[in-house]
A and B are shown apart, each in its own frame.
Chain A
Amino acid sequence: MLAFLLRRVALIVPTFLGVTLIAFALIRLIPGDPVENLSGERGMDPERRLRLLHEFGLDRPLPAQYAEYLNQIVHGDLGTSLTTHEPVLREFLTLFPATVELAFFAMVFAIVLGLPAGIIAAIKRNTVADYAVMGVSLTGYSMPIFWWALLLILFFSVHLGWTPVSGRIAVQYDVQAATGFMLIDTLRAGDFGAFRSALSHLILPSIALGTIPLAVIARMTRSSMLEVLREDYVRTARAKGLSRWRTVVVHALRNALIPVVTVIGLQVGLLLSGAILTETIFSWPGVGNWLIHGVQSRDYPVVQGGILLVATIVIVVNLLVDATYGVVNPRIRHG
């Protein structure tokens, strides 16, 4: 087991280095050098330009620059935002809990609806229920989520007035950010009005972000369940007189879940992609929103650092998924 884990950890090192290389190249590939971009429309005299280039270390050979960049990363220095003049890492860490909170509830929504839907579709194969689940999940899978989010806002916020349109909490609440997770912070403060407000702000973004994972989970559960239901041990369980319900829940589901768990883990990358769009639409103060602002305002340290951090998270989560999978399924471990 340990050897398997070590092998997996060793494999992510080149991947991580590759990501740093992309992030490093990003700043150097943009048209014009970063110093020129700093100077804006007015331009800058050549002497000052050279001094600034030297200051940023941009006049040194590329390998030396890259080594310096890696050294900075290892020390947690990801540069300073050009717009807010805050360290990129600190900005990321303040905003990240908001994205995690959103992604977590999106995933809960996807699993709570997706698993039962997939199971029902498999058990009632080729019935109206199956067709309905598969139709809805194929539609969900093809959904442009920025549009879906707008429709949700149009109906639930504007038409029915049930949920707020955007943001994380109503403006009248001033919550001390202790953990960065709004629900936890409001509860710690004992402010239930604020808690309810935060919860109602979470509903629509979670649904919008969770729709594609929901579709993927429902499809995966169904196909995995169908495969398991054909197995001999399931027939044996039925033959010895167990109820259909018990056979499905106790015997089939446990084995059918293995690929589903993997798929759920692999949704993290997708969730972060989706978070970029969802956060933009709901003005959710998270990492995705921040990144898009970075791109739009040509704040390259933010884009560079943000890409590096998000990729690192995806790599680490995928590693954890693999490790869990190895624990659940010994065949992988020894493969």
Chain B
Amino acid sequence: MADAAPPLPGRFAEFWSAYRQSRGAMIGLALAVALVLLAVFADVVSPHPPNEQYRDFTLTPPAWQDGGTTRFLLGTDPVGRDMLSRLIHGTRLSLAIGVISVAISLSLGLVLGLIAGYFRGTTETVIMRVMDVMLALPSLLLAIAVVAILGPGLANAMYAIAIVLLPHYVRLTRAAVIAEAGRDYVTSSRIAGAGTLRLMFDTILPNCVAPLIVQATLGFSTAILDAAALGFLGLGAQPPTPEWGSMLASALEFIQRAPWVVTFPGLMILVTVLAFNLMGDGLRDALDPRLKR
């Protein structure tokens, strides 16, 4: 590879020039980068600690409304905590939920999909039937079932979401592996003496990555949305954790008097999910022109 002298654009440069074509994808990327920065520097950027209760300032409206103060730019919640700081810390939580559940799901899905696609036969049938069953349940219902077993909580919600996402990765990997396994380069490396594991992970897997990256990005937004829904139903993150869904749920009774306690967390969920959906669409068009809609 290294001695290929002609100045062909590198793989990344090629991908980047395709990705840049879409304005939506670029907006998504910019939003995602901003959110990641916000999450990483949450402690520095937040004007107040997320769980500090300013008892004299309960339900203070946002700064631009009557009675608002610049001390609490987006107002405070029913117990006087700064909305802005809680939203910023919520970014950290939501991105962590996305990363962790997608990572669990993707790595498990990769292995199961590789096994199913490589060995075929009974192993494949068993794995794929189990995935079919999981797909038969509506996603939120499956997540609720898992939470019913494990008990409510942030960590359990992440496991539940990882399980919900799993069938998609297994199916994608299996399909890609089956498509690749018959190619000449796989046969030749088997003849050259490559072992099963090497064939699976080193030869075949790198050529199946594109659809998985796309699915992982879209799965990220599903994870954030479902985690917020579970939090909202009281089955995910528990108060006082500044998770957007549970923030929304705990302020529900104040919706008429103080709409901002409900509006802003939802807006954050929408913007975050939108950012990763835009990125996922852009990645799909750039990485796999065949899938272009």
Contact = CB atoms under 8 A, between A and B. Distances in A.
Interface of A: 14-15, 18-19, 21-22, 26, 29-31, 138-139, 141-144, 146-148, 150-151, 153-154, 158, 219, 223, 269-270, 272-274, 276-277, 280, 291-292, 295-296, 300, 303, 307, 310-311, 314-315, 318
A277 B145 contact: no
A273 B221 contact: no
Chief secondary structure at chain A's binding surface: helix
Given A15-B129, A146-B229, A272-B138, A139 B270 contact: yes
B262 interface: yes
Contacts of A14: 129, 132
A22 B147 CA distance: 13
Given A15-B133, A295-B235, A31 B269 contact: no
B145 A276 contact: no
Contact of A18 (B129, B262, B277): B129
B139 interface: yes
Nearest to B130: A18
Interface string B143-159: 01101110100000000
A300 B270 CA distance: 33
B240 interface: no
Contact of A315 (B136, B225, B228, B265): B136
Contacts of B274: 138-139, 142
A142 B270 CA distance: 6
B140 interface: yes
B145 A22 contact: yes
B136 A311 contact: yes
For A18, A142, A269, A274, the residue with the greatest tally of chain B CB atoms inside 10 Å of its CB is: A142
B273 interface: yes
Interface in B152-196: none
Interface residues of B, number: 43
A15 B221 contact: no
B138 A291 contact: no
A144 B149 contact: no
A164 to B, nearest CB: 15
B233 A144 contact: no
Contacts of A153: 255
B232 interface: yes
A141 B277 contact: yes
A272 B228 CA distance: 17
Given A139-B270, A150-B262, A277 B233 contact: yes
Contacts of A30: 148-149
